[in-house]
Structure 1
């Protein structure tokens, strides 16, 4: 009756579908502690006399039975038939009694919720009545259009008049802030500041290491909306300068936009800390391979301001990975905030990166509190997966001594379709890493990658790999970073145990730099990005639709002679393990079995520079075996190869003896001409062994258990230079030639490995 009384208070706001929802379980509301038995005949409309005669048999449960039922209700409000049967057997009740108890208990909860909602509506009603009275009283007096106060002079003081004007101005600024926030996140800024308003000490807690990061912090930032943008605080421009925002706005709009960006950065950092906590319920183990998966129900429960509905056709990718690195947290944080050095640290992942704007420079000459807007293009070495393009906000913060955090969050999202556009439509939700120095000299990294992307842009054979998170997820970021740190440690070590011991350290670094330039140039011809301009050739009569062919024109320093570079690439699935395909392709003695340009002869490794502990991680010089090739002993190849848990790569290019001598002596390698070709071997996303990212006890990466039961994705790329081209038009013969070369190479690899 109390509930019915409250329902009457809401008048015309009463939801006519409410009673239908209350009866969605086909029962009427009663106490959860008692039930009654009634047959179906009792509800027969034509047998009223019998219905009145019969009495419902009530059963009051014992306190122990109610306690057991309540405990089970907390875990599962809607038990299935098997669960009800188990409960009835355990408690000595009939199945029907258990069913009615749960129905009645759910009704109680609905009634309580409706009672609470009615109370809120009653309060709103009283508030509206009070506002109505105020408005009626205000209508009797003239009002100033500027400040909202009485228009008759002398009725209000000058101080009150100024306060009213300031209040009106602040309301306009708040409206602009909400508009800008809605532009970046799809919701008003109040959704972000709600938690801060509920807890006035939220900003202080954040600076002192909230959410499990314990230790003092010297990053004493106040709440974002109180951030002073006009006094040069934390790197902000002074008030007498013209402020321009990362999106091109100026003046007050730019000032408000920067305030919104700071609000987004703090919210993103808060979410990253929650997602990297070791005992959080946000991650669950996958039953297939034991990897961590995002618990979407728990993520929705925490009320993330970034959890907005996905566009149609988009899927969510969320991964987390932990590893050890042979470096320190402060140095890594410095690299993450430098776009060029960040790109060098992930050479096969980042096609292009740039800093668009610096919002704050940090505190005390460090990166603590540094905040900037960046642009990045993330690639997977295959022409069948478009590059992901992000414009995002990056925020770096030191939470404690030896503990740093770097977080990214997209602030501009455009739906760039795959038709005619080399970029994949994607959005980065709060992602990043926690870096923590260890007592043994290593740095522990906990990496989280959380993105949404347009699945329709990905080729069918790559969708399992991309969906599993192997392609762009945290596992690949950590594995690449581990391999990079390991390579730097080996190249910088004064002690060498390989064949390159006779080469000077300057020579090894020069060879490594040339190999990296060769690899970057090769991937630019496989994954088109803004780093290198290529023109896509749409040719319909090639016969092989899965081969992507591009071209670009280059000129010599004089500008008179022109050359055209053709690049062809394709990807195929191989029913073999990554390790077997990698070992076959990197073996110089077996090169003649697949290299159509080697004349069918074998080659030998003349120079070997190790870049990692895994076999095959090296930069090599390959020379033709003179005993098998007669007078072709002058043919030389520069080869760069590596393998880790995320994939494997082999890139090679012809190189002449003069250029090799210059590089090995430590000379400048920037002018050495390269024409790279090569392969990437990636997990196919189906086999469980493809998903293992291992870390040895010393922090080096390991490729995990790889066997012949799995499959892999082989990408082959080939570049060909057409010199002294007078016209910018390509002939069909040139296109047919490079198409036949790559098709023949892939077929020879299949034949040599026994793949049908």
Structure 2
């Protein structure tokens, strides 16, 4: 990104009214007009629709011949269409690809045709017919749901009419005087007026889904008991989560309509923030970054989630980058909470899908709407975890162009039982993903949040406020590094060079998977996420800014059983971050700070590259025994580096277990207790100033964390001796690092 701001992407982005719900949607009645003409066009020569014809043959038939070949040369009569019946194996392979990609490109169709002995034209027609079938099945299902709702509402309305015809006096039980209205009738009339207004609102939303106006149908669909199920909202067609949390004092249908309205407003604001440059986005003084002109933002955009709470500060960033991943695959990852957390393991401590409101249209994520919860983290005990509840909305803007937007729902769901005080609100944020010809994607990311900085340590406040901790810069950098790692592991060729030990392809993947679990657990232990229930200890003999926590590990195959003690702290060093990272990851300097080295050298026995940068690796180190009484120790180490920061994480491992992993065995049963370092570049705070305080030296924010097993019996009570041990371990390691880097103070 250049300092002048992000170039405006040349995307064919329509307005919200034109594009948000432009795909074929729901049908409340038999099609008329243009929709009826489209239905007639889909009929075949023998009077059967393509969908009926496909259903009768289970997708096993395909036209033999292409479009434009209906007439023979010299023969004005139409050539009779011939059909080709696919084999069960061909159908199975076609269905498997359809589940992964409903719109294969020319290259994919050619490759599939060669594998199945089919022409490119036959593969193309099969996918066209399959998409048509899925769309028609979805519409038939939605119409059936609508008919059921209409019948139910009609019956309930008749019951209400009968009760109004024969009212009963509440005082005497007899017939009320003429002209008097019972309380029940007054309540029903008020409720009917409210439901009629809600029905008008829902018809507007349904029209956006269908792409054409929808009448109120007052005679056929009475207003009582109206909800959004019949409109496809809240209906799960793909096995999504349906355990939504109700709002106290708010009808479910009303809540869903408010959430849909919020999603539309958030998408509109987000797309404008992606496209606009100055005066909304202005270059920062540091260069290479952009800052949001907050006054201009308040002038242009209405507050879709309400006014900023008192004491909150604003953080807004925008970043653009190329990523080695297909756009559709990235969208699928973002809409799956588990895959989303795996893609950003150092940022997302926990992610869950609370409720799927709409699962998309036409078998894709276009129009998908879901409630989510996430815990976002920065690897430091001085920065609290950001706990956010938000709505995620996905929309296809054009062919190969997708937008995914998040917005907090705390303003709508603030009366929910048990909801804690909100410390962070997510304003419209997300990414626009555009497919590129080389198989990569161009991603434009916007992060916009409001948060309470009172709980953040003074050492990290400037860094977080600048967006380097949770901003778009870090999301893009992490995404690029993770996608490069996945592309490297998917390659069938095993790199040569530093592969000291012979590791199979499956062994490489198993070993990297184990290392990624180790790094994720390291971050969770530093930040005290609710993934594990940590208990903070308050001891008077702890060093300043050192946090110590405990938790009991029981029946967890990935950890040793017992009482786990974790200690972590962060400090500022007047050393460039790349120099700190290179020092800590180099096994030759390990003896200068690592107690596990036993004061001797370490040897690298295995090395797996995870990308082009030599700092992104997984290594297996062996501590050389200095005397016959010492046992040989193996250490698994993962190092990660990108533009947003770096990690050096390690853990002792069992030799037989690692031999099994290197041969492709299951790594989920290898017990680990990770320790290590997180390094963040810092130019905004620290301890180095000139005499007048106007200049600050570039440095690093270093987080040091250790986890140790106190005992193997979880029921035993802990003494203060282990706390003193881990406190001395942290302080001693920091002093050794400072001495080696010549930055004692």
Structures share fold, TM-score greater than 0.5: yes
Shift of 1:409: 0.6
Q: Is the 8 A contact 2:410 2:422 kept in 1?
A: no
Q: Is the 8 A contact 1:413 1:426 kept in 2?
A: no
Q: Specify the SS of the correspondent of 2:314.
A: strand
The residue number in structure 2 matching 1:169 is 191
Q: List per-residue Cα deviations over 1:493-523 (Å, max 9, x = no partner).
A: 1123244494221101100111111112212
Within 5 A, what are the aligned runs for 1:586-597?
A: 586-597=585-596
The residue number in structure 1 matching 2:550 is 551
* Farther-moved stretch of structure 1 (480-489 vs 633-642): 633-642
CA distance in structure 2 between the partners assigned to 1:670 and 1:401 by the alignment: 40
Within 5 A, what are the aligned runs for 1:98-109?
A: none
Task: Determine which structure has greater relative contact order: mean sequence separation of CA pairs < 8 Å that are 6+ residues apart, divided by chain length.
Answer: 2
Given the superposition, is the C-alpha separation of residues 431 and 221 from structure 1 closer, same or farther in structure 2, using an over 3 Å criterion? farther
Q: Is the 8 A contact 2:459 2:685 kept in 1?
A: no
Q: Is the 8 A contact 1:611 1:618 kept in 2?
A: yes
The question of 1:295 aligning with 2:283 is answered no
Q: List per-residue Cα deviations over 1:289-317 (Å, max 9, x = no partner).
A: 24111111221112323263322221000
Within 5 A, what are the aligned runs for 1:193-592?
A: 220=211, 229-237=227-235, 246-249=244-247, 253-277=251-275, 279=277, 281-306=279-304, 308-412=306-410, 425-498=423-496, 499-500=498-499, 502-542=502-542, 544-555=543-554, 563-592=562-591
Structure 1 length normalisation: TM-score? 0.65
The residue number in structure 1 matching 2:728 is 740
Within 5 A, what are the aligned runs for 1:633-652?
A: 634-652=632-650
The question of 1:755 aligning with 2:732 is answered no
CA distance in structure 1 between the partners assigned to 2:544 and 2:713 by the alignment: 27
Shift of 1:235: 5.0
Q: Specify the SS of the correspondent of 1:363.
A: coil
Q: Specify the SS of the correspondent of 1:340.
A: helix
The residue number in structure 2 matching 1:720 is 708
Q: Is the 8 A contact 2:536 2:549 kept in 1?
A: yes
Q: List per-residue Cα deviations over 1:69-89 (Å, max 9, x = no partner).
A: xxxxxxxxxxxxxxxxxxxxx
Given the superposition, is the C-alpha separation of residues 750 and 629 from structure 1 closer, same or farther in structure 2, using an over 3 Å criterion? farther
The question of 1:675 aligning with 2:673 is answered yes
Given the superposition, is the C-alpha separation of residues 535 and 413 from structure 1 closer, same or farther in structure 2, using an over 3 Å criterion? farther
Given the superposition, is the C-alpha separation of residues 236 and 424 from structure 1 closer, same or farther in structure 2, using an over 3 Å criterion? closer
What runs of 5+ residues in structure 1 fail to find an aligned partner?
Answer: 1-143, 145-150, 155-162, 178-189, 208-217, 689-707
Shift of 1:392: 0.5
CA distance in structure 1 between the partners assigned to 2:340 and 2:316 by the alignment: 22
CA distance in structure 2 between the partners assigned to 1:529 and 1:406 by the alignment: 26
Given the superposition, is the C-alpha separation of residues 167 and 732 from structure 1 closer, same or farther in structure 2, using an over 3 Å criterion? same
CA distance in structure 2 between the partners assigned to 1:280 and 1:604 by the alignment: 54
CA distance in structure 1 between the partners assigned to 2:661 and 2:388 by the alignment: 36
Within 5 A, what are the aligned runs for 1:606-685?
A: 606-625=605-624, 632=630, 634-685=632-683
Shift of 1:221: 8.9
CA distance in structure 1 between the partners assigned to 2:420 and 2:674 by the alignment: 21
Given the superposition, is the C-alpha separation of residues 482 and 668 from structure 1 closer, same or farther in structure 2, using an over 3 Å criterion? same
CA distance in structure 1 between the partners assigned to 2:400 and 2:242 by the alignment: 35
Q: Is the 8 A contact 1:577 1:709 kept in 2?
A: no
Q: List per-residue Cα deviations over 1:213-244 (Å, max 9, x = no partner).
A: xxxxx984989x99984454335349xxxx99
Shift of 1:339: 0.5
Given the superposition, is the C-alpha separation of residues 656 and 322 from structure 1 closer, same or farther in structure 2, using an over 3 Å criterion? same
Shift of 1:540: 2.1
Given the superposition, is the C-alpha separation of residues 588 and 396 from structure 1 closer, same or farther in structure 2, using an over 3 Å criterion? same
Q: Specify the SS of the correspondent of 1:412.
A: coil
Given the superposition, is the C-alpha separation of residues 301 and 166 from structure 1 closer, same or farther in structure 2, using an over 3 Å criterion? farther
The residue number in structure 1 matching 2:23 is none
CA distance in structure 2 between the partners assigned to 1:468 and 1:294 by the alignment: 11
Structure index of larger Rg: 1
Given the superposition, is the C-alpha separation of residues 722 and 176 from structure 1 closer, same or farther in structure 2, using an over 3 Å criterion? farther
Q: CA RMSD in A?
A: 3.9
CA distance in structure 1 between the partners assigned to 2:413 and 2:637 by the alignment: 39
Given the superposition, is the C-alpha separation of residues 664 and 528 from structure 1 closer, same or farther in structure 2, using an over 3 Å criterion? same
Q: Is the 8 A contact 2:325 2:441 kept in 1?
A: yes
